[in-house]
Chain A
Amino acid sequence: MSARRSRSRQAGAGRITDEQIDDLMSKLQAILPEARLGRNDRVSAAKVLQEACSYIRSLHREMDDLSERLSELLSTTEMSSAQAAVVRSLLM
Chain B
Amino acid sequence: MVALRFLRALSLVRCSGPGARSPSYRARGIRRAAYACMAASAGPRRAWSRALLRKIRRRPGRGLRRPRAVIRRRRPVGGGDPLEVALRRLVPGGGCMEYCRLLEEAADYVKCLAMQVRLMQTIVDSASHVNSID
Interface residues of A (CB under 8 A from B): 3, 6-7, 10-13, 16, 20-21, 24-25, 27-28, 31-32, 46, 49-50, 52-53, 55-57, 59-60, 62-64, 66-83, 85-87, 89-90
Do residues B103 and A28 form an inter-chain contact, with CB atoms below 8 A? Answer: yes
The docked-state distance in angstroms from the alpha carbon of A88 to that of B131 is: 16
Do residues A66 and B130 form an inter-chain contact, with CB atoms below 8 A? Answer: no
In the complex, what residue of chain B is closest to A8 when comparing beta carbons?
A: B99
Do residues B106 and A90 form an inter-chain contact, with CB atoms below 8 A? Answer: no
Is B70 positioned at the interface, with any CB of A under 8 Å from its CB? no
Interface residues of B (CB under 8 A from A): 3-4, 7, 10-11, 13, 15-16, 23-24, 26-28, 30-31, 34-35, 77, 80-81, 83-84, 86-87, 90-91, 98-100, 103-104, 106-107, 109-111, 113-114, 116-117, 120-124, 126-131, 134
Distance in Å: Cβ of A9 to nearest Cβ of chain B: 11
The docked-state distance in angstroms from the alpha carbon of A87 to that of B121 is: 14
The docked-state distance in angstroms from the alpha carbon of A74 to that of B134 is: 15
